[in-house]
Structure 1
Amino acid sequence: MATPFPEESGTVQKKRARPLRAWIVLALAILAGLVAAYLAVQTLKTKERDAIERILARSNQGTIDVVVPTQNLAPGALLSYAVVSKRAVPADTAPADVITPEQFDTYVGHRINIPLTEGKPILRSYLSGKRALADIIAPDKLALTMTVDNVSTLNGLLQPGDKVDILWFYKPPQNDASDDLASKDAVRYLDSGIKVMATGTRTISDDSQSGVSDDPAAGSRPESFSTVTLELSPDQVEKMTLAKRLGELQLVLRPANAQGKEINKVFTIKDILGTHERARRHFTSVSDTIEYIVGGTGGHVARMPNT
């Protein structure tokens, strides 16, 4: 009979557990790694943001706004706000005579000397030296030049752009040949609020281009001139031309912001001497008296009002 195998003597050995301190060290290492990664990402983002801000700041400091056409413009065309816009260009490449938006108002209405390409900065050298008188007259107006004396020119103080009233000195029709004063001079307002376009050869365009805005009595002015150019409607031109032939015209300066007001009053020598008033009082004193004839004698015995 077989004998069973003999049982081996001894004990089973258990695996030793990892100490708690090792787990704590591992956890701290992982946390430190996460913190380091977070800080690294934030540092990179901050540097990237600072770099973008520096680029933008450098870009803004290196550009200026200039005026460019919004379409191709042919020589002879007039500049206006309808055909231009502004555009930012590098300041170091912009020509010295480029027109900026702040300066453009001075050049509105100037003629173009060369073809202009859409989007290309407009230079002062591309434009005519100054606007012609025909360029600054309103489309529905005409320009009329008339000779004036020192009184009408306010001794040279009248300026382009001023508004004036026009007085007409003339001889009224002789309705009563027996009236010695009927053939004498009369004066009336012919027009009011008329715009002065030029005094002599100095125009509104000249003042706009040179920036003239000071008192003409200061410095080297007032200037001497013997003609004035007015902006008138076609009807006013006809009326002014005929009035000039039949009498004399005198200009009267209006306040800068005053509105034109039609005045139809006609003054004659009778108004100055008061003869109209004396005649009216005499006529009233006679017409208000009714004469009664009583007993063959006449006399002003009653004063009764007319009905």
Structure 2
Amino acid sequence: MRNSRSLVIIGVALFLGLAAVLVAAKWMGEQGAAGSRVAVAAVDIGQGSRLAPASVQLVDWPAGSVPPGAITDPKLLAERVTRADIARGEPVLESKLAPPGTTGGLSAVVAAGKRAMTVRVNDVVGVAGFALPGNYVDILVNLQGTTSDAGTQQQSISKIVLERILVLAVAQESNRDDTKPRVVNAVTLELAPDQVEKLDLARSIGSLSLVLRNQVDPQPANTDGATRESVLGLPPAKAAPAPVRAQAAPRPAAPAPAPVRRPEGVLVIRGLDAAPQATH
């Protein structure tokens, strides 16, 4: 009795195990059949490069993990330009491609509504070469104290005028290589139109410096700027009073003419002649 019961239990277990294997095999077969072919980079593709047929290949991708914006039709990649670096084996996403019809070069990297502007830098202004493409910087302007024609004294000040500005390129290269710093003489920045105007004025009235910032820190600085008094801990300088212009002295009024006094006397009439005669 016990042996027959054990055989039944073993048989049921074998049946359930075989059924589980068949169900798992069927599920895996369905998942493989429902997979998609996704375009991935066959080689490392740099920013602003035009895609070539040899640089992209289609590979099988599980249907449940296809990234949003993945390209499944190779025809959609013809003559497209990349907006960001794409590593080998990485899916080619629509977000990393410039709009169709865009020509290659730096213009394909500039976002819609933005402008690219180049400023001259040196090894100090350029954060010792650590301001690389893809980094974010703040722009600092230093204004020296001047005296206006009216005699008003304008104090020296150092102030952050633009924040979280994307570096598009350094010198003539836009490749994002973070392995080592590069000391260059020019940096190209991505700016909004109003920021372009502010930066153009700032570099004409003072000296510029770049301040490297954390890429994931969106908080604004909200500073009042640094002056000579704030750095040295001195009280704020009082504005020099405007010079008072000397007023012309008023001209004295002309004296009124003295009234003409007629001599007092008696009028004597003799015939047809009349002559006054003084009295004592």
**Distance apart, 1:71 and its partner CA:** 9.4
- Work out whether 1:161 is the aligned partner of 2:134: yes
| 3-state SS in 2 of match to 1:258 | coil
Contact 1:149/1:226 (8 A) holds in 2: yes
Q: Which residue of 2 aligns with 1:36?
A: none
**Distance apart, 1:259 and its partner CA:** 1.1
**Distance apart, 1:238 and its partner CA:** 0.6
Letter in 1 for 2:38: V
**Distance (Å, rounded) in 2 between the aligned partners of 1:106 and 1:155:** 35
- Work out whether 1:241 is the aligned partner of 2:200: yes
Letter in 1 for 2:171: G
**Distance (Å, rounded) in 2 between the aligned partners of 1:142 and 1:278:** 40
**Distance (Å, rounded) in 2 between the aligned partners of 1:60 and 1:245:** 63
Q: Which residue of 1 aligns with 2:4?
A: none
Q: Which residue of 2 aligns with 1:274?
A: 233
Percent identity over the alignment? 26
- Work out whether 1:103 is the aligned partner of 2:56: no
Contact 1:165/1:253 (8 A) holds in 2: yes
**Distance (Å, rounded) in 1 between the aligned partners of 2:138 and 2:211:** 5
Count of residue correspondences: 181
**Distance (Å, rounded) in 2 between the aligned partners of 1:276 and 1:177:** 24
Deviation by residue 1:205-248 (Cα, 9 ceiling, x = unmatched): x33xxxx5xx53xxxx3223111111101001011001101111
Instruction: Assess, with a 3 A threshold, how the Cα gap between structure 1 residues 192 and 247 changes in structure 2: closer, same or farther.
Output: same
Structure (1/2) with the larger helix percentage: 1
**Distance (Å, rounded) in 1 between the aligned partners of 2:156 and 2:210:** 18
Candidates 116, 121, 127, aligned match of 1:148? 121
Instruction: Assess, with a 3 A threshold, how the Cα gap between structure 1 residues 178 and 273 changes in structure 2: closer, same or farther.
Output: farther
Contact 1:169/1:247 (8 A) holds in 2: yes
**Distance (Å, rounded) in 2 between the aligned partners of 1:269 and 1:226:** 29
- Work out whether 1:254 is the aligned partner of 2:242: no
| 3-state SS in 2 of match to 1:160 | coil
Q: What is the TM-score normalised by the length of structure 1?
A: 0.47
Contact 2:170/2:184 (8 A) holds in 1: yes
**Distance (Å, rounded) in 2 between the aligned partners of 1:172 and 1:103:** 55
Where structure 1 has 5 or more consecutive residues not aligned to the other structure, the ranges are 1-45, 81-98, 114-127, 280-307
Cα RMSD after superposing both structures: 4.3
Instruction: Assess, with a 3 A threshold, how the Cα gap between structure 1 residues 74 and 202 changes in structure 2: closer, same or farther.
Output: closer
Contact 2:141/2:202 (8 A) holds in 1: yes
| 3-state SS in 2 of match to 1:244 | helix
Contact 1:76/1:111 (8 A) holds in 2: no
Instruction: Assess, with a 3 A threshold, how the Cα gap between structure 1 residues 165 and 107 changes in structure 2: closer, same or farther.
Output: closer
Q: Which residue of 1 aligns with 2:109?
A: 136
**Distance apart, 1:111 and its partner CA:** 7.8
**Distance (Å, rounded) in 2 between the aligned partners of 1:155 and 1:64:** 47
**Distance apart, 1:264 and its partner CA:** 4.6
**Distance (Å, rounded) in 2 between the aligned partners of 1:186 and 1:79:** 42
Candidates 223, 229, 235, aligned match of 2:182? 223
| 3-state SS in 2 of match to 1:275 | coil
| 3-state SS in 2 of match to 1:228 | strand
Q: Which residue of 2 aligns with 1:66?
A: 38
**Distance (Å, rounded) in 1 between the aligned partners of 2:114 and 2:195:** 10
Instruction: Assess, with a 3 A threshold, how the Cα gap between structure 1 residues 230 and 73 changes in structure 2: closer, same or farther.
Output: same
Alignment of 1:17-96 (within 5 A): 65-67=37-39, 73=76, 76-77=79-80
Contact 2:38/2:91 (8 A) holds in 1: no
**Distance apart, 1:278 and its partner CA:** 8.8
Deviation by residue 1:155-202 (Cα, 9 ceiling, x = unmatched): 2122111111111111356379878xx455321111111111112223
| 3-state SS in 1 of match to 2:131 | coil
Candidates 189, 192, 197, aligned match of 2:168? 197
Q: What is the TM-score normalised by the length of structure 2?
A: 0.51
Instruction: Assess, with a 3 A threshold, how the Cα gap between structure 1 residues 193 and 155 changes in structure 2: closer, same or farther.
Output: same
Larger Rg: 1
Contact 2:143/2:156 (8 A) holds in 1: yes
Contact 1:173/1:183 (8 A) holds in 2: yes
Contact 1:109/1:131 (8 A) holds in 2: no
Contact 2:133/2:169 (8 A) holds in 1: yes
